[in-house]
Amino acid sequence: MAVTQTIRPMLWFDGKAEEAARFYVSIFPGSKILEVARYGETGPGPKGSVMTVSFRLGDQEYVALNGGPQFKFTEAISLAIEVESQEEVDRLWSALTAGGGQEGVCGWLKDRYGLSWQVTPSALIRAINGPDQKKVDRVMTAMMDMKKINIARIEAAARAG
């Protein structure tokens, strides 16, 4: 007997769930807010305040929860975005670091809410997969020296040698 399950990442925020969801939806074409649920009489949040926001980014659904200050995001989990062009790398990098986000290394960043993202060109994924370990090493060496991934540098490292 088949069991149908839905798995949605639940993202914990301290009062900024709706703001964050609207921010994410504004960045990714075809994305949208699906539903906003509010706290009632029993709380624990103030009556009428946003409890959860269900939203879709691409074909993945998420839930943002206003859970309070108890928990913060860490790099132990990140949302990885695979893109095709340098223009898309640049656009997403700028959008996600805007307003207080932080650049990381090797294509990682934190947005203004502390959520970690990886903006990864498919050219990088192709370059580090395959049997040519020398090529993989060249590409990894080039990537380790980057914050935002530069596709031209990745491709040059893949061709070198």
Q: Where are the alpha helices (DSSP H) in the chain?
A: 17-27, 86-97, 122-127, 133-144, 151-159
Residues contacting residue 25 through CB under 8 Å, at least 6 positions apart = 31, 32, 33, 55, 56, 57
User: Residue 123 burial (CB < 10 Å; 0-12/13-18/19+)?
Assistant: buried
Using DSSP bridges, classify how beta strands 78-83 and 116-121 pair: parallel, antiparallel or unpaired. parallel
What pLDDT score does 5 carry?
Answer: 80
pLDDT at residue 130, rounded to an integer: 86
**Roughly what angle, to the nearest 10 degrees, separates helices 133-144 and 151-159?**
150
My answer on whether 34 and 97 are in the same domain is no
* pLDDT tens for the 161 residues of the chain, in order: 677 788 999 999 999 999 999 999 999 999 999 999 999 999 889 999 999 999 999 999 999 999 999 999 999 999 999 999 999 999 999 999 999 999 999 999 999 999 999 999 999 999 999 899 999 999 999 999 999 999 999 999 999 97
- Local structure of residue 46 (DSSP, 8 states): P
* 89 and 41 within one domain: no
pLDDT at 4: 79
Domain that residue 140 falls in: 73-161
> Domain containing 41 — which CATH number?
3.30.720.100
| Residue 137, pLDDT score | 96
Q: Work out how many domains the chain is built from and give that number.
A: 2
Please check whether residues 101 and 148 belong to one and the same domain.
yes
